[in-house]
Structure formats: C-alpha cells, structure tokens
C-alpha cells in the first residue's frame, strides 16, 4: 500500500471513529476542525507551577515556543526540560511513532496534564496551535492578564491535514510591507496551520529583492514616483504624489526564511517572468526586444513590455535565479508566467528568426519556449518550477507544478496531464476581492468573495477520477495589494477569511459544515482576533439586499450569511439604528426607494454594515426588451430589474456591457402608456469610474415604425442621467446610448459601455 493510499484509509477510519464520539468536536471551537475529538467533563488548570517537557531534542523548540507564547499573557516563567515520561501538572511534547501522517498529532488533556504526540516536530507544532485554541481567548493578549487560572477542557484529539500543500500568498510589489509585518503574516499562517508562504517579490510596480550581480534592480526597479488614485481602469485615472519604495536585503530575507522555518512554514519566492517585468526592464531595458527605456509602472494591470527570448536574457535570469535559490531552501521557485502580452514578440525580427529556427508557429509556442528555458535553469539549481496556469499554453515543462488562478479549468487540465496542481481560483480565494457589497467596505480590486464563498470552496473537482484528484496537492489563497496600502487594511482582508480557507485545506471535507463553523467556531475565533487587536472584518454578519419581480410587484429581501443575525432597515435612505424597523419578512416596494440596512452583532454590542440598494418599480419593469446589438455581455434583464447600481461598489454582474458598440434598446410596454421620464444608469458611483456614453437619446413610437425623439443629452455625467419630457402616450420606447469607443490604453483596447438600468416613468 503506497503512502497516499494508506493516509486515505487511515483518515477514513479515523473519521468513522470520530462519528461515534460525543459530544461533537464543534464544542471544542477549534479551527480548522480536527479529524476526531471527544470532550470530557473536566479540565486541566495551567498554573504558575506547571511545567513544559519534551522527550527528544527535535521537540525542544516547540516546547520553548509554547513557553514563550504563554509568558506574556500569564506572566508565568514556566520551566522547559527534557523528560521521557509525562509528569503531573505538565504539558508534554513527545515525538513517538503514531499511526498518523507526518503532520498529524494526538492531543490529550486530562485533569493531571496535557500530552501532545506526533511523528515529527511539525506535528507537535500543529498540535500546539490546537492547544492554543483550547485556552481562553485572553491567552492571545501580549499583555499580562490578571486571571486566577487558565482552564483547558479535557479532550482527546487525533488530527492530521487533508492536503500536503496549504498555502497563502502575499504581494509586496504593488505596496511594500516591512519585515515586521511579514513576520506577523507568517505567525497568522502558523496559527491557522498553513505550511506554505508564497512571497510575490517582483512585478511591474516594484522589484523587492536584492540581487548582488544586478544592483540596478533595486536602485531603479524598487521605486515608483506615484500611484494611481481610485481604480486603475477608471475613465479618468488620477495619481498621488507619493513615492513607493522598498526592498529586502539578503540578510532580511534569510531572517524571514529562518523565522518561517521555526514555524514549520516553507517560503516560496516568486520572480515573475516574462511578463509583469516593467520594474526589471526599467533597470535593464536591454532585456526587452525593443531595448528602449521602460518605467516602473504607477498603474496596475497588464503591460506590453516583456522580456525577450534571447540568450543574453536567459543568462541574466540564470544569475538572478541562482541568487534566489541560494536564499530560499524551498524545493520550489515560482516563475509567474501569467498575462503575457505578445505584441512586442510578434514585432521583433529576433523573435521571428527564433520561431523559424525552432519551428514555432504561434506566440503561445514562443511563450512555451521561454518558460521551458527558464524551467531548465531552475531545474539545474535543484528546484522545481511553479507557474500560473498560462504556462500550459503552447506546452509546458514536464515537472512543472501548475497554480490555477483563472478558475479551476487550468488545474483540471493539468491534473489530467499528470502535473501536480495547486488550486488558487480568483473567484473563491483571492482575498483582495470585496467581502460584502456594503458601502463601509474598504476599496478592493473587484469581485466578491464572501466568507461563506471561501468556506464552501472545494479544491478537488468531483468529476475528476480519484487518480486525477490525487494530483491536486492543495490550494493557495492570495492577497494582491494593488489597493491594500497598510497592514490594517491587509488584516481586514485576511480575517476571518483566512480561517475559512484553513478549514478547507486541513479538515476532512465530509466533516465541514457552514452552520457548525459560522455558529460555533467563528464566534470563538472572532473573540480571539479581538484579543490579538486585529482589524477583523464582520462582513459575513452584514446585510445582503436583493430583489425580484413577482408579477407586477418588486419585492426586496434582506438576509445575512450568519443565521439569526438581527437586521434593521429604513426605506427613506436614512441610516438605520436600533430604533428602526427590524427586518422580519420580504418588503413590497411601491415607489422609488433607497433601502438601507445594518446588522446587530451581539458580541460587539453594535450595528455593522451599510447595505444600500435603490429600487424602483417603474413602468418598464420586466417588460420585453430587444437589443439591436448582440455584442452585449450580461443579461438584458439587468436593464429592467428595478435595481440601480450607483449606490453600490462596482460589480460586473450589475450591468449589460457593450464592448466597442452602442446601446440601442427597444422596450415594449404592452399597451399605449403615458410616459414622461427615463432614467439611465451607467456608472457604479462607488470605487470605480466607468466610461460614460457620449450621447443619449430617447424615442417613442406606437407602431415601431415611426419614431419621435422625446429627449436627448450630449456628454452626460454619471452615475445616472434623468431625461424628462412632456407627457406622451406610446407603446414602444427606444433608448440609444453612444459608446465613445476610442481608447489609447492597451489594457482597454475596446471601451466598454456599462448600462445597469433603463427606468421608465
């Protein structure tokens, strides 16, 4: 029986055993949820005369870490000593042969003492993290707590991780974070039993790692003069006057790597090539095909400047990756490989010659050639390449590990090809996305990934065979920092979503339960985060407003991801208070209304959230609508669902989108109807500035043959245009909005026209 089959059998056996135990381990309030647990009726009291022991030298460091961790909140100077047997009133760490994986552990708490057993120091360390959560939340305080005793409930736990790769990423290129923050980040990962930290060190906006052979990489590439204000894809982007600069010395990187190793976390560096290389090319422009000056980018996105597939470039990268390999003992080096614009390659005589020499017929094959050359460099350094799923295009190096970020499709393809896969789909586990649609959320890049969305993500697609699923070695969350400038903002985006992903990666999927997690273990975690003074998001408690058309009525519903949350609302746009109406049942909306809602969190003793949605039961609600252009993305029903998007943050799902074409919509009102106003929504109004139309025209007709212009406006400004006219009876309305279409931005070659509602009154 091979190792993976044995662990699967063992895990199934332990799971069956755990189901026979009562009460359920939900009462333990440990996250991620252990594989099996039973709870006794007694407890162990940690006191000033308790002891900490270890049975082997390799267990000593874990014992010392626990003593150090306990010292600040308790004030206890607990002695740490070697002992083969467990003595009374002690916490014992023992490396012994037990029938669990190398990261597994057994934790026993009785009134006499605590014993943690594991095959390795890593298993002991994860056992210590569970012990930490058995202690009162005040143990997380780094200041002394005057507490008579520290009670630990009597338990028996056997636990091991589901996945061998449990990763979390941090982008320090877009905004630089100092060593002290990176160490705190690693501590947070360790607390949640992650074992991999991917350090995204280079991108278009900054080079953050010292390379001795090429000092200009940090002298020039580590600094940009300013940063875009608002969103990089705004209609009229603005810039601040604040320089962003910073990089890590080799001594600092070694310090961080050692710090992570002590917490049983592997640090994987990412040096992104051949795209996302503006900072590298700003320092050494001769590495491009055009060899012209390049700037460190003040905006975010995708840029044309890429490395050229020439021998001098591969020689340069060979030196860079050699120095990187010497700093990081990890078996992996991440080489990026994503979002490569191939325009400069197609224009280069050198690349055309290369394609002829190697019988390459497509730019994707040129990318494959580039990636395979770099993979060989990394392999010769004794490392394995990880790349984003674009490296599959055109062919991929045999031993490359695929990190699937654009969805799950790349990971599925790679698993079928026999490549190891790390799932990292942005739709689920990118923590730079919004956590709710409430307006008190800080700026995020785009999209929505709520706590429940993260928790319910499953890395192994069910339609893959068991053999193919085995190639998916785990998953990795990502914190990209385009719009995250400060540690406090980073904390908000991480917590508590980090805990939800931790449970997905560690716990047996058949044991996962959203109700168990959200009702029992999440509240305990939130109290722990409070003691850690983390800027925690309570977004999962916040209201979610939705509406639907029911016959001729527009009906609004307000819910929260956390069951039982009390929600208060107003219908006049005023801020809800505890004296406002408490939501009990769906609301029938009879007039244009700004519905606002907030949730009460009892543990905080306050209202949270600011959910707003402007709703309008207008005359065209749910009527038949015909679009002249079939190029629109998104359902035409978005144009007549009774919801305006302007008082929410941007979400692509709110709009019908017209790329390089105009809006021309004909609405059938079913019968001759008196109308006098049309409202056209075309901007989000929050956190994004969308391209407005250049002209809007409203026409009316009784037969769809003869049209009368009712109102029009040039160069409207958002987020919404109101076109009023003398009352007129018509059956059909035609609404035209002209897209400006022109763009000089390579990132937006065709300007999108976003329309979220055509309201008729």
What are the residue ranges of CATH 2.60.40 in the chain?
Answer: 542-612
The residues with which 430 forms a beta bridge, in sequence order, are: 478
> Confidence band (pLDDT; 50, 70, 90) for 415?
very high
Q: What is the pLDDT of residue 744?
A: 58
What is the CATH architecture of 165-507?
Answer: Alpha-Beta Barrel (3.20)
Single out the residue of 32, 222, 226, 256 nearest to residue 127, CA to CA: 32
Q: Specify whether 491 is catalytic.
A: no
| Fold assignment, 542-612 | Immunoglobulin-like (2.60.40)
Q: What is the pLDDT of residues 583-627, one digit of tens each?
A: 999 999 999 999 999 999 998 999 999 999 999 999 999 899 999
Q: Please, what is the average pLDDT of the chain?
A: 93
What is the CATH architecture of 624-760?
Answer: Sandwich (2.60)
Q: What is the pLDDT of residue 236?
A: 77
Question: Per the CATH hierarchy, to which homologous superfamily does domain 3-159 belong?
Answer: Chitobiase/beta-hexosaminidase domain 2-like (3.30.379.10)
* Total number of residues shown for the chain: 761
Q: Assess whether pLDDT exceeds 50 at residue 318.
A: yes
> Confidence band (pLDDT; 50, 70, 90) for 751?
confident
Q: What is the pLDDT of residue 27?
A: 59
What are the residue ranges of CATH 2.60.120.260 in the chain?
Answer: 624-760
Helical residues (DSSP H) of 263-408, grouped into ranges: 278-283, 311-327, 343-347, 349-357, 363-380
Q: What is the pLDDT of residues 33-81, one digit of tens each?
A: 999 999 999 999 999 999 999 999 999 999 999 999 999 999 999 999 9
Among the listed residues 112, 339, 664, 712, the single catalytic one is 339
Q: What is the pLDDT of residues 209-227, one digit of tens each?
A: 999 999 999 999 999 999 9
Q: Assess whether pLDDT exceeds 60 at residue 697.
A: yes
The Cα–Cα gap between 82 and 54 comes to: 5
Q: CB 645: neighbour CB atoms within 10 A?
A: 27
What does the pLDDT average to over 296-323? 97
CB 737 within 8 A of CB 693: yes
Q: What is the pLDDT of residue 650?
A: 83
Mapped onto helix, strand or coil, the DSSP state of residue 99 is coil
Segment among 94-98, 396-400, 406-410, 539-543 with least mean pLDDT: 396-400
Q: What is the pLDDT of residues 431-467, one digit of tens each?
A: 999 999 999 999 999 899 999 999 999 999 999 999 9
Q: How far is CA 114 from CA 68, 442, 606, in A?
A: 17, 43, 38
What are the residue ranges of CATH 3.30.379.10 in the chain?
Answer: 3-159
């Amino acid at each position: 029986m091979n190792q993976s089959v044995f662990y699967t059998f063992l895990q199934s056996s332990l799971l069956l055993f755990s189901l026979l135990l009562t009460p359920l381990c939900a009462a333990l309030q440990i996250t991620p949820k252990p594989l099996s647990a039973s709870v006794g009726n007694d407890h162990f009291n940690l006191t000033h005369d308790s002891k900490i022991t270890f049975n082997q030298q390799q267990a000593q460091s874990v014992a010392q870490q626990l003593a150090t961790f306990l010292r600040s909140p308790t004030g206890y100077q607990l002695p740490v000593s070697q002992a083969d047997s467990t003595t009374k009133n002690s916490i014992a760490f023992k490396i012994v042969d037990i029938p669990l994986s190398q990261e597994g552990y057994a934790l026993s708490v009785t009134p006499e003492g605590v014993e943690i057993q594991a095959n390795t120091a890593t298993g002991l360390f994860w056992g210590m993290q569970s012990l930490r959560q058995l202690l009162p939340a005040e143990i997380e305080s780094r200041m002394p707590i005057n507490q008579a005793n520290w009670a630990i409930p009597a338990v028996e736990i056997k636990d091991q991780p589901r996945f061998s790769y449990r990763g979390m990423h941090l982008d320090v290129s877009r905004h630089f974070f100092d060593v002290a923050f990176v160490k705190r980040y690693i501590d947070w990962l360790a607390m949640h039993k992650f074992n991999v930290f991917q350090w995204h060190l280079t991108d278009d906006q900054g080079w953050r790692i010292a390379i001795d052979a090429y000092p200009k990489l940090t002298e020039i590439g580590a600094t940009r003069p300013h940063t875009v204000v608002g969103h990089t894809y705004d209609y009229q982007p603005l810039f601040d006057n604040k320089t962003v600069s910073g990089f890590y010395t080799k001594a600092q990187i070694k310090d961080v790597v050692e710090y992570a190793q002590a917490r049983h976390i592997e640090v994987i560096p990412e040096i992104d090539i051949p795209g996302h290389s503006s900072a590298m090319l700003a320092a050494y422009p001769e590495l491009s095909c055009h060899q012209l000056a390049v700037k460190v980018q003040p905006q975010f996105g995708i840029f044309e400047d890429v490395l050229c597939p020439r021998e001098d470039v591969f020689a340069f990268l060979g030196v860079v990756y050699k120095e990187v390999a010497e700093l990081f003992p990890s078996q992996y080096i991440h080489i990026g490989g994503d979002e490569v614009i191939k325009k400069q390659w197609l224009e280069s005589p050198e690349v055309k010659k290369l394609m002829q020499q190697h019988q390459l017929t497509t730019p994707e094959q040129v990318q494959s050639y580039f990636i395979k050359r770099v993979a060989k460099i990394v392999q010769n350094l004794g490392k394995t390449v990880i790349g984003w799923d674009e490296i599959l295009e055109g062919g991929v190096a045999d031993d490359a590990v695929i990190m699937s970020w654009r969805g799950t499709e790349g990971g599925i393809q790679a698993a079928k090809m026999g490549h190891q896969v790390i799932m990292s789909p942005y739709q689920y586990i990118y923590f730079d996305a919004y956590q709710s649609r409430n307006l008190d959320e800080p700026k995020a890049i785009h999209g929505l990934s709520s706590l429940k969305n993260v928790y319910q993500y499953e890395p192994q697609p069910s339609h893959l065979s068991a053999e193919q699923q085995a190639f998916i070695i785990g998953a990795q969350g990502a914190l990209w920092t385009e719009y995250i400038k400060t540690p406090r903002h980073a904390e908000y985006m991480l917590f508590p979503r980090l805990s939800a992903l931790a449970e997905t990666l560690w716990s047996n999927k058949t044991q996962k339960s959203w109700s168990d997690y959200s009702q029992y273990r999440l509240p305990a975690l939130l109290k722990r985060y409070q003691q850690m003074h983390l800027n925690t998001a309570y977004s999962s408690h916040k209201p979610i407003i939705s509406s639907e058309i029911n016959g001729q009525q527009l009906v609004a519903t307000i819910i929260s991801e956390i069951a039982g949350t009390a929600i208060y609302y107003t219908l006049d746009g005023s801020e809800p208070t505890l004296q406002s109406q408490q939501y009990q049942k769906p609301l029938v909306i009879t007039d244009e209304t700004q519905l606002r809602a907030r949730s009460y969190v009892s543990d905080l003793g306050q209202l949270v959230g600011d959910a707003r949605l402007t709703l309008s039961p207008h005359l065209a609600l749910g009527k038949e609508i015909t679009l002249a252009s079939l190029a629109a993305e998104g359902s035409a029903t978005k144009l007549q669902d009774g919801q305006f998007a302007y008082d929410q943050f941007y979400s692509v799902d709110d709009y019908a989108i017209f790329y390089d074409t105009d809006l021309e919509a004909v609405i059938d009102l079913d019968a001759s109807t008196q109308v006098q106003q049309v409202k056209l929504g075309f901007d989000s109004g929050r956190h994004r500035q969308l391209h407005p139309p250049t002209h809007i025209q409203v026409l009316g007709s009784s037969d769809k043959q003869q049209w009368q212009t009712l109102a029009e406006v040039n160069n409207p400004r958002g987020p919404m245009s109101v076109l009023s006219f003398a009352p007129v009876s018509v059956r059909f309305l035609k609404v035209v909005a002209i897209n400006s279409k022109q763009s000089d931005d390579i990132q937006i070659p065709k300007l999108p026209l976003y329309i979220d509602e055509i309201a008729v009154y």
